[in-house]
Amino acid sequence: MRLCLAAMPWLAVDTPSLALGILRRRVNEACPTIEASEYHGGIRWAEHLLRTTGGELTPNDYYRIADKGLGYGLGDWVFAGALYGDERWRLAELRDHAKQWDLDLGLAERMRELAGRFVADAAADLLARDVDVVGFTTTFMQTVPSLALARELKRHKPTVRIVLGGANCDGPMGAVLHRHH
């Protein structure tokens, strides 16, 4: 069996997920028949932004959304179009919300244009590994990017098993996440 442990944006890009590394090593030690790997989506997303924009969007822009956008859910919103298959999904509502808080959405809107391609590329990467199970860690604004990738994986390989864990799966949040997805 092939397992991939994934941490999607918006973790810090200067350090990979310690939790993924520890869990992957433990799986390798305890279950030698399972081939475990890691996917550091935050790092890959920052690289994607840099590469596809020819350097226009940098890791500093990534951090602007990761840090300043947290209180407004901008990171989730960036990937919502990829999740729902519509780049303009709820754009009008977000713009109305942004006016109330005097938010500049230019950067988030630019990133949203690139999110669908990133999710497709991430799915292609994981599918090339012939994964059987993908385990996502989700906290803060990682839920929507994780769900977008899970949806894309299922679209191409319906038999892949998806597992979500982390703080966003705790208590009532986990029940609602399970019910809706």
For residue range 83-122, list pLDDT tens digits in order: 999 888 888 888 888 888 888 889 999 999 999 999 999 9
Q: Are 166 and 135 in contact (CB under 8 A)?
A: no
Q: Nearest CA to 50 among 96, 111, 133, 138?
A: 111
Hey, is 169 helix, strand or coil? helix
Please tell me the predicted confidence (pLDDT) of residue 115: 97
Q: Express each pLDDT in 4-42 by its tens digit.
A: 999 999 988 888 888 899 999 999 999 999 999 999 999
Please tell me the predicted confidence (pLDDT) of residue 13: 86
Q: Are 153 and 124 in contact (CB under 8 A)?
A: no
Hey, is 29 helix, strand or coil? helix
Sign of CA dihedral 93, 109, 139, 25: positive
Number of other residues whose CB lies within 10 A of the CB of residue 147: 25
Angle of CA points 175, 62, 90, to nearest 5°: 50
Cα 145 versus chain centre, distance:
3
Task: Give the chain's mean pLDDT.
Answer: 93
Q: What's 140's DSSP letter?
A: G
Please tell me the predicted confidence (pLDDT) of residue 97: 84
What is the rounded average pLDDT of the residues 50-74?
93
Percentage of the residues of the chain whose pLDDT score is greater than 70: 100
Please tell me the predicted confidence (pLDDT) of residue 47: 96
